[in-house]
Amino acid sequence: MIHIDEQTCIGCTKCTKVCPGNLLVMKNGKSTSREPRACWSCTACIKECPVQAIALYTGADAGGRGGLLYAKDSGDILTWTFQSVEGQTKTIEIQKNQSNNY
């Protein structure tokens, strides 16, 4: 499930266009999920958001229940930042053209 920070959202609509479940809609000029529990957790909207207003809630199996996972697109680099409930952060940078190499 995702978290949308309405204070940070700039209403660009990019997330609404990439959601494969068509779950994100605009309300009062901000993005919102019309059915939060139906989210596929695919992270498409998170990667598309230019201001990091959208984060994925993480479960216990991914670093701790209630943590948040953000993404920042910097051209060739995608930076993922995990923030735990305790406030600790971990960052991973991925070269997008290498992301599917195993």
Q: Which amino acid is present at 54?
A: I
Residues 14-71 pLDDT 10s: 999 999 999 999 999 999 999 988 999 999 999 999 999 999 998 766 666 778 999 9
Distances (CA, A) of 40 to 9, 52, 54, 55, 82: 21, 19, 14, 13, 19
Q: What is the pTM of this model?
A: 0.85
Instruction: Between 51 and 87, name the one with better pLDDT.
Output: 51
Domains and CATH numbers, the chain: 2-98 (3.30.70.20)
Cα distance between residue 92 and residue 43, in whole Å:
15
- Residue 96, pLDDT above cutoff 90: no
Confidence band for 87, pLDDT divided at 50, 70 and 90: confident
| pLDDT value at residue 102 | 58
- Which string of b and e fits 87-100 if b means at least 16 CB within 10 Å? eeeeeeeeeeeeee
